[in-house]
Structure 1
Amino acid sequence: MQIMYVDESGDNGCSKYGSQHYILSGIVVSEDDWQESLNRMKAFRKHLKDTYGLLIRTELHAAELIRVGKIEEYKKIHKSQRINILKEFVRQIPIIFNNAVIINIVLNKNNFPKETNFQELAWARLIQRFDTYLKKMHKGRGIIVSDDCQDANIRKLLRKMRVYNPTPSHYEGFYNVPVDNIIEDIFMRSSQHSMFIQAADFVAHTLYRKEFPKGSLKKFGLDKIFDELESILLKKASRNDPLGIVRK
Structure 2
Amino acid sequence: MELLFIDESGDDGLAPKSSEFYILSGVAVEDCFWKETFWKLFGFRQHILRRFGLKIDELKGEAIFHHEGDLFNTKLEPTDEKWICERLIDLICAELKVGLHIGAKPKREFLDRYPEPLRNPQKIFRQEIWREYLSRYEHHLFDQSHSRGEPQNAMVFYDKNQQKHVRSLIREFTRKFDEQSEFPGAGLIEDVIFYDSKMSVFIQLADFLASISLRILKGRRSKDEFEIPKEFIEKIKAKIGKPILI
TM more than 0.5:
yes
Structure having greater relative contact order (Cα 8 Å, sep ≥ 6):
2
Q: How many equivalent pairs are there?
A: 225
1:49-86 CA deviation, whole Å, 9 max, x = no partner?
1112221x421011112223443655332232122212
Whole-Å Cα distance in 1 between the matches of residues 163 and 185 of structure 2? Answer: 20
Q: Give the corresponding residue for 2:196.
A: 190
1:125 to 132, 137, 146: 132
Q: 1:134 to 1:13 in 2, by over 3 A?
A: same
Q: Give the corresponding residue for 2:117.
A: none
What is the aligned-residue RMSD (CA, Å)?
2.7
1:212 and 2:218 correspond:
yes
1:193-216 CA deviation, whole Å, 9 max, x = no partner?
111111111111011011012365
TM-score (norm 1): 0.80
Report how far residue 42 of structure 1 moved. Answer: 1.8
Contact 1:206 1:223 in 2 (8 A): no
Q: Give the corresponding residue for 1:158.
A: 170
TM-score (norm 2): 0.80
Name the SS for the 2:187 alignment partner. coil
1:135 and 2:134 correspond:
no
Q: Give the corresponding residue for 1:26.
A: 26
Whole-Å Cα distance in 2 between the matches of residues 179 and 211 of structure 1? Answer: 36
More helix, by proportion: 2
Contact 1:209 1:223 in 2 (8 A): no
Contact 1:63 1:205 in 2 (8 A): yes
Whole-Å Cα distance in 2 between the matches of residues 163 and 190 of structure 1? Answer: 24
Whole-Å Cα distance in 2 between the matches of residues 43 and 71 of structure 1? Answer: 17
The aligned runs of 1:85-124 (5 Å cut-off) are 85-97=84-96, 99-113=97-111, 115=121, 117-124=124-131
Q: Give the corresponding residue for 1:46.
A: 46
Q: Give the corresponding residue for 1:232.
A: 239
Relative to structure 2, which stretch is displaced further, 102-111 or 214-223? Answer: 214-223
Identity %: 24
Contact 1:26 1:102 in 2 (8 A): yes
Contact 2:59 2:70 in 1 (8 A): no
1:202 to 205, 208, 215: 208
